[in-house]
Amino acid sequence: MYYSLLMNGNCGVTALFLDEQIDTGPVVETHDYAAPSDRTEIDYGYDPYVRSDLLVRVLRGYLDSSEFCTEHQRTDKGEKYFIMHPVLRHVAILGANEGKGESEAC
């Protein structure tokens, strides 16, 4: 989520099936959410909300069709991101304050 904030200014969330590798399983659904106005609350309020919202979307789709429509991930496209360094995470959180007359921490 923080990489998406840094790169696109929004919060991209993906529902996928797990396999033996990290983040390589078939994708069930993706959704982009607008960045929250208060980025300091991402971990404790916003992140759980968008994850659960996407899960509900996926489960409703399954109830309607009795199947999961998946797509294989394209390994030749995109980047793989794992754990973000705390400094980058802080920069992503402070990004909402740009242009609002507040001093930057970096």
pLDDT tens-digit readout, 9-65: 999 999 999 999 878 899 999 999 999 999 888 988 999 999 999 999 999 999 999
With respect to residue 90, please indicate whether it lies within any of the assigned structural domains. yes
User: What pLDDT score was predicted for residue 101?
Assistant: 44
Residue that the structure tokens 């099936």 belong to: 17
Instruction: Tell me if 13 sits within 8 A of 27, measured CB to CB.
Output: no
The dihedrals phi and psi of 25, each to the nearest 5 degrees, come to: -70, 170
Structural domain of 80: 2-97
**The tokens of 47 are what?**
């992140």
Provide the number of structural domains found in the chain: 1
* Nearest in space to 13 (alpha carbons), one of 50, 60, 58, 46: 50
User: What pLDDT score was predicted for residue 32?
Assistant: 96
The dihedrals phi and psi of 9, each to the nearest 5 degrees, come to: 80, 5
User: What pLDDT score was predicted for residue 61?
Assistant: 96
CA-CA distance, 105 to 22, in Å (whole number)? 33
- List, for residues 68-82, the tens digit of each pLDDT value: 999 998 777 767 666
CA-CA distance, 100 to 73, in Å (whole number)? 38
